[in-house]
Structure 1
Amino acid sequence: MSGRSKGMHRDERITAIAAMFDCAPALAAQVEPSMQAVSFAHKAVLAHQGDSSEHCWLVIGGTVHIQVNGIDGQRVQLAYHGPGEFFGAYPEPATHRADMVAHGAVDLLRIRCTELAALAHSQPALAAGLARRLARQLDLSLDRMAAQTTLSAPGRIHAELLRLADADYRIVPAPQITALALNANTARETASRAVSALERRGIVERSERGLTILAPRMLRDMIY
């Protein structure tokens, strides 16, 4: 496992911790010394399947893909974690069940799982915030699983585009087709055809700056 310390100021770390745990800045300041800000470049492997897992990771920016090799030798994505999500060991050290791979530049806060467990035990407000965060993350994971089970492959691509878009229905930079395919658990060719079809119908528009969803209502209606 490798990573470089990120130049995040202490005030920024405290703000991020307070937001992640839904706690007061004063409590976040007590937690901050136990956390290390690190970043990884695109495609960097944070940990391999079978490695010892002693840390809990909080995603500040970017996406971490959780991948394994399938029985046919192809890479299979089990899940992914984006900003505001936790992954790793908790409350005790464990073993990584899959590879953790950075997709794009990834910024994280890292803490030993035993330290986080001790802090949660001694600080009820921190424990409550952690429980709320993990409950929201479980809901999100179940939504993703339901989408993979009940939606068609193009429908999952359409849902993923809406998930990635900001309030103005823009995705900057434009999503890579390979990443779309992995996040929707489908083939790259399927994702490419789905996006091209949306462009032909004028539902999305790609440019050098990014991708814009021009007809979000139509795109939502195509999620099935």
Structure 2
Amino acid sequence: MSVELDGDRLELFRSVFGCSADVSRSIAAPARERSFAPRTIMLRMDGPRREILVVLMGSARVLSSTADGRVVQLYDLTAGDLVGLAEVGDDAAGEVVAVSQLDAAAYAIGDFMRLAETHAAVGLALSRTLLRHLQRVTARMLARSTLSATGRVYAELDRLGSGDGARGTIRPAPVLTALAERALTTRETASRAVAALERRGIVRRTSEELVILSLRQLRDLIV
């Protein structure tokens, strides 16, 4: 099924590619719409690359497997992100998995490359996406080498929190196992780190959300 561009989707394409409505529709023309249920593997890193996806709605997670078999969560992809370029490298073991119901515009790689040759906006979007992937992976590497395990948990909470600058909210409340995987540590370490924040009144946790009452105090602990 072809991609219908109207309303929010049209604005999303204009934002991703930085172009007019007419050019957005031209870029969308070769794509077909694909849907992925939660927990569906969208892409295997060490498998063949046949298409490039533009996320229209929902979120996905980039996972990488270590030499000892552990699965590491690298970062999340949301509406506007491109999938299928070089999330963790062609030779890496890993996959991109849908976290929620996800809709995407799917392009055959040849079609997308021809668009990049025709529309400068597509080439620029490719460059921005590759740079963003590099920045995300580099940030993970730096955190692993420079921060303590507890510091990585706090850095991940800071990254996940959104708010007015003084406070932040993570909704739904993060699952400790997933938080530990993101921070490259154990569930026990993540549990102790969050409990310490609660005791100090820096965060408040309920079944629905985790509220960061002071982002400044949280950031002071990222060491």
The residue type paired with residue 26 of structure 2 is Q
Give 1:57 deviation, angstroms.
Answer: 2.6
Identity within the alignment, %: 36
User: SS where residue 52 of structure 1 aligns?
Assistant: coil
d(CA) in 2 for partners of 1:39 and 1:118?
24
> Retained in 1: the 8 A contact 2:58–2:100?
no
Counterpart of 1:114 (choices 93, 110, 120) is: 110
**Equivalences for 1:28-107 in 2 at 5 Å?**
28-48=24-44, 50-59=46-55, 60-68=57-65, 70-72=66-68, 74-77=69-72, 79-83=74-78, 84-89=80-85, 97-107=93-103
What is the alpha-carbon root mean square deviation over aligned residues?
Answer: 2.6
1:18-54 CA-to-partner distances (Å, cap 9, x unmatched) read 2222222221111112334434333222234543221
Tell me how far apart the structure 2 counterparts of residues 153 and 108 of structure 1 sit (CA, whole Å).
Answer: 35
What are the ranges of 5 or more consecutive residues in structure 1 without an aligned counterpart? none
SS for the counterpart of 1:81 is: strand
Question: 1:207 corresponds to which residue?
Answer: 206
After alignment, is 104-113 or 15-24 more displaced?
A: 104-113
**Could you state the TM-score of these two structures normalised by the residue count of structure 1?**
0.81
Cα deviation digits, residues 143-195 of structure 1 (max 9, x gap): 22211221111111111111111124111111111221121111222212211
**1:67 offset after TM fit, Å?**
3.0
The reply on whether 1:14 has 2:36 as its aligned counterpart is: no
1:176 aligns with 2:146: no
Look up the SS of the partner of 1:212 in the other structure. strand
State the alpha-carbon separation in 2 of the partners of residues 96 and 142 from structure 1: 15
Distance 1:77 1:222 in 2: 23
Residue ranges of structure 2 left out of the alignment (5+ in a row): none
Equivalent residues of 2:64, 2:93 under 8 A apart: no
Residue type matched to 1:118 in 2?
A: R
Residue type of the alignment partner of 2:181: L
The aligned length equals: 213
Find the aligned partners of 1:9 and 1:209 in 2 and give their Cα distance: 34
Q: What amino acid is aligned across from residue 64 of structure 2 in structure 1?
A: Q
Query: Cα gap change, 1:220/1:37 in structure 2, threshold over 3 Å: closer, same or farther?
Result: farther
> Post-superposition shift, 1:122?
0.9
2: CA distance, partners of 1:203 / 1:46? 37
- In the TM superposition, residue 204 of structure 1 has moved relative to its aligned partner by 0.8
Distance in 2 between the 1:171 and 1:193 partners? Answer: 18
Q: Is the 8 A contact 1:21 1:133 kept in 2?
A: no
Give the corresponding residue for 1:129: 125
Q: Distance in 1 between the 2:160 and 2:33 partners?
A: 24
**Which residue, 156, 162, 173 being the options, matches 2:158?**
162
Q: Which amino acid aligns with 1:151?
A: L
Task: Name the CA shift for 1:143/1:132 in 2 (closer, same or farther; >3 Å).
Answer: same
CA separation of 1:204 and 1:9: change in aligned 2, threshold 3 A: farther
Match for 2:40: what amino acid? A
Normalized against structure 2, the TM-score is what? 0.82
- How far 1:118 sits from its partner (Å)? 0.7
